[in-house]
Amino acid sequence: MDEVKEDSDYPNPSLGLNVVREEEEEEDDLADPPTPSGKLADRIRCVRERCIESLGERSFERAYSFLTSEEEEEEYEMGGEAYDGKMEDPFDRRQQELVRILGEDMVHFANLIEQLIFMEKTHFGS
């Protein structure tokens, strides 16, 4: 007597396909996420444009150059500023120069320019 098999005894081809599809989806999930460098590049562009629109290109370039040169000086000063006979606070001198370049009402953009410099160093290296 032949034994009758029920449908559940036979492999279901659609189940096999589902398993393959699930495995493919898992592989897609395991792919490397997009790198943040594209987003950082967009952020750099936006911050630069915002500064230039608000300050004007000339003031932005002067402040950017000043802050970049200040940062480079700080990197080379091992152990603080050398004593030159004056008791001037370097932060006060720096702030006065930024006010002279940007104006009292726009000096707050110095923080944004510093962020821009940091992001560029992070993204482009230097």
Q: For residues 93, 94, 95 and 97, what is the CA-based torsion angle, rounded to 10 degrees? A: 90
- CA pair distance 112, 103, nearest whole angstrom: 15
* N-to-C CA span, the chain: 84
Rg (Cα) of the chain, in Å, rounded? 30
What is the residue whose two structure tokens read 């599809």?
21
Query: For residues 100 and 94, what is the distance between their CA atoms, to the nearest angstrom?
Result: 10
Q: For the segment 62-77, what is each residue's pLDDT rounded down to a tens digit?
A: 999 999 998 777 655 5
Q: Give me the tens of pLDDT residue by residue for the chain, a chain 126 residues long.
A: 555 555 555 555 545 444 445 555 555 555 555 555 578 899 999 999 999 999 999 999 999 999 999 877 765 554 555 555 556 677 889 999 999 999 999 999 999 999 999 999 988 886
